[in-house]
Amino acid sequence: MASLSLRSLLTLFLAFGFTPAALGAGSSSDSGSSGYSYTAEPSESDDMRASKAAIERRDFEAALISLERERSANPQNADAWNLTGFSLRKIGQYDGSEKAYSKALTLDPKHTQAMEYMGELYLTIGQPEKANALLERLNGLCSFNCHDRDLLAKAIAAYKAQ
């Protein structure tokens, strides 16, 4: 089996549209130490960009205002529902958070970030069995290098260690 050099691998990534910035983009869980990091896609609406910027600032109330406009304009946007759940969870509105994550997963049953965040919600409200069920779903979806699965597994391990 031929091995790829680092340069060949980088060339392959670039050929498929992966840039170094895109490889590091996305989000990081609140169970990690790197904070919040949401990178807006060029095709995203102004409201999605504004909500991600507000989350970066930890201004979850402002994020919810932008997300409400986004959901009104695009009710099928699973990412907007996911970030709504995240923002509601961060301000302690757990019932609304669970409903928003559920809506995101209804729209996109393979939304791994919504599963990870919902798992963290369940740990927050003392329902680790539900978090474990979501980890099992992630294990079924992910085979290699699944950031959301790994973050939820780490959060569950930390919860059990308490």
Residue type, 96: G
Backbone angles phi, psi at 41, to 5 degrees: -80, 145
pLDDT, residue 43, reads 81
Positions of the chain with pLDDT lower than 70, given as ranges:
1-42
Domain 27-161 has CATH 1.25.40.10: yes
Backbone angles phi, psi at 5, to 5 degrees: -75, 165
pLDDT in tens, 9-40: 444 334 444 433 333 333 334 543 334 545 54
pLDDT, residue 38, reads 52
Domain chopping of the chain, boundaries: 27-161
Distance, CA of 28 to CA of 32 (rounded, Å): 7
Q: Which two tokens stand for residue 115?
A: 């599963």
pLDDT, residue 55, reads 98
